[in-house]
Structure 1
Amino acid sequence: MSTADGFPWGDFAAGLPWSASAALAVMLVTFAVAVRKGMHRIVDIAWGLGFTTVAVTSLLASSGADGDPVRRVLVTVLTAVWGLRLAGHINRRGRGHGEDPRYARMLAKAPGDPTLYALRKVYLLQGALVWLVSLPVQAAHYVPEPMGRLAWAGVALWTVGMFFEAVGDAQLARFKAAPANRGRIMDQGLWRYTRHPNYFGDFCVWWGLFLLAVGSLAVAAAVVVAPLVMTLLLTRGSGQRLLEQHMSGRPGYAAYVARTSGFFPLPPRS
């Protein structure tokens, strides 16, 4: 049932439990696999898979609503492309390595049972974040208006983000694979213009999906928390801040920081 702004708030609300259940299912299955393997780093793979599952679930849950079909298919495909690429990249990057030091340190200090602590502090928390950050993706399936300029601007911003994320990850992987680069700081390609092209790419992807979901000011106000939370995670949470703390003691990193933008791509400073 649509309201005065044309958005079917009742249908949207009815779909939220389905998407929450999908995110929870992905994390619980991942938790079971991680416990069996004795390694919790695989939860990072589930991050992208969780968003993909929520997008597909929202597409199915909204099948009886009057959402614009182009927007519905497009937001599902764009989210799935982003999520599956990220999951595949993290899987390849972690292959052959042991436990992530972040999780090892956290669980070593866990009060009580470390396994139950990991369930609460890692898996359930990430499931909740997947559901929250994906709110624009869920809402986009119910927007009845045809794709307009703002929605297509969102697709363009998503494309910019995917370029920075995918190309930045590929450049870093090639750099680290070369024995001559051992111990050196990556400052080539996109990494010459921003210290975090992959995080900047994530930023663009999720603000792009937000623009794609906006059918009215009311919808924008209801879901803008999602890209804001993702931005905080990338810049102040487990993204840029923690990585730079880890890198700060490496030779040459201070000079790299001095000449290279911290987030938004800019020409290098002299």
Structure 2
Amino acid sequence: MAGALLLLLLLGVLVFMALAMGFAWALARATGRHGWVDTIWSFSVGLAGVSASLAPLAADSPNLRQMVVAAVAALWSARLGAHILARTLKGGDDPRYAALVQEWGSNAASRLFLFLQIQALCGAVLVLAVMAAARAPMPFGSVWDILGLAVIATAVAGETLADRQLAAFRADPANHGKVCDAGLWGWSRHPNYFFEWMAWVAYPLFAIDASGAYPAGFAALLGPALMYWLLVHASGIPPTEAHMLRSRGQAFRDYMGRVNSFWPGPPKRR
């Protein structure tokens, strides 16, 4: 019975994400602002993660572990979604999506819809990682649980700091047309992406039982694995850097020669 309820919950997550990204597609098409896509995706993954964590599939639900994991998912979602929402409301379009729409031409509407449904599927996989952590049968409070909380706290703080440093750099008129290499941006070209990935490392720490008594916990590894691929090889760094090369040219090429792409490290001497 519990297995059937779990499968039904997973199906519900998948349907919810598909509907949410369908709404994101319609809103982006209506407003011409594709920032709504990532805004809705962030809030939707968080809402689905919280719901999947707290859903009463057992008599003792929700327990402390479920509530902590749900709170972690809510914190991540609220911070990221609010940040992207504020940026979207300021106006302008997301250059990554704008470039895709231009490239797709007359097929832009249908291809964007399919693209966002793939994002919905990715979101459902991330929610599965959250569920694996929330449903772990171990009592909450182990060393690994505390380490997981430390990781998520560091990730949220780091991403918030990176976003604020970039916003402060852009707010200074003297920096117009320049490449931000201040603070964390002097150690990684994408510190916001690095800390975004780091947030998903917390879930395997919550989920995996070293004794092997909870093999489903290894599903939480899907979170950091998928997020790394998305950020480094798909919708994160490649289109962002393509846009920066178009808009900043040689200044960004010089920056690429000095600063690591993803993993933070001291800048290289030229």
On the 8 A contact 1:199/1:239 being kept in 2, the answer is: yes
For residue 141 of structure 1, the aligned residue among 134, 144, 147 is 134
Cα distance in structure 2, aligned partners of 1:220 and 1:125: 24
For residue 176 of structure 2, the aligned residue among 172, 175, 182 is 182
1:101-138 deviation line (CA, Å, top 9, x unaligned): 4333433444765433322222x111111101221212
Provide closer, same or farther for how the CA distance between residues 205 and 9 of structure 1 changes in structure 2, counting only shifts above 3 A: farther
On the 8 A contact 2:35/2:84 being kept in 1, the answer is: no
Cα distance in structure 1, aligned partners of 2:157 and 2:27: 32
Amino acid at match of 2:101: L
Number of equivalenced pairs: 263
- Which residue of structure 2 aligns with residue 205 of structure 1? 199
Amino acid at match of 1:172: L
Cα distance in structure 2, aligned partners of 1:253 and 1:156: 34
On the 8 A contact 2:69/2:130 being kept in 1, the answer is: yes
TM-score, structure 2 normalization: 0.86
Cα distance in structure 1, aligned partners of 2:195 and 2:59: 32
For residue 37 of structure 2, the aligned residue among 37, 40, 43 is 43
The structural deviation recorded for 1:154 is: 1.5
Provide closer, same or farther for how the CA distance between residues 255 and 103 of structure 1 changes in structure 2, counting only shifts above 3 A: closer
Provide closer, same or farther for how the CA distance between residues 106 and 241 of structure 1 changes in structure 2, counting only shifts above 3 A: closer
- Which residue of structure 1 aligns with residue 256 of structure 2? 257
Instruction: Kindly report the root-mean-square deviation, in angstroms, between the aligned alpha carbons of the 2 structures.
Output: 2.4
Cα distance in structure 2, aligned partners of 1:135 and 1:260: 34
The structural deviation recorded for 1:57 is: 1.9
Cα distance in structure 1, aligned partners of 2:143 and 2:9: 27
Amino acid at match of 1:234: L
Provide closer, same or farther for how the CA distance between residues 257 and 96 of structure 1 changes in structure 2, counting only shifts above 3 A: same
Provide closer, same or farther for how the CA distance between residues 114 and 252 of structure 1 changes in structure 2, counting only shifts above 3 A: closer
On the 8 A contact 1:62/1:141 being kept in 2, the answer is: no
On the 8 A contact 2:244/2:252 being kept in 1, the answer is: yes
Provide closer, same or farther for how the CA distance between residues 204 and 109 of structure 1 changes in structure 2, counting only shifts above 3 A: closer
Cα distance in structure 2, aligned partners of 1:233 and 1:65: 37
Cα distance in structure 2, aligned partners of 1:263 and 1:111: 31
Amino acid at match of 2:125: L
Q: Which 4+ stretches in 1 moved above 4 angstroms?
A: 8-11, 65-68
For residue 227 of structure 2, the aligned residue among 198, 213, 230 is 230
- Which residue of structure 2 aligns with residue 102 of structure 1? 96
The structural deviation recorded for 1:38 is: 4.1
On the 8 A contact 2:188/2:259 being kept in 1, the answer is: yes
Cα distance in structure 2, aligned partners of 1:15 and 1:80: 18
Q: In the alignment, does 2:120 pair up with 1:127?
A: yes
1:209-231 deviation line (CA, Å, top 9, x unaligned): 23222246412433422321111
Structure 2's unaligned 5+ residue stretches are: none
- Which residue of structure 1 aligns with residue 9 of structure 2? 15
The structural deviation recorded for 1:251 is: 3.7
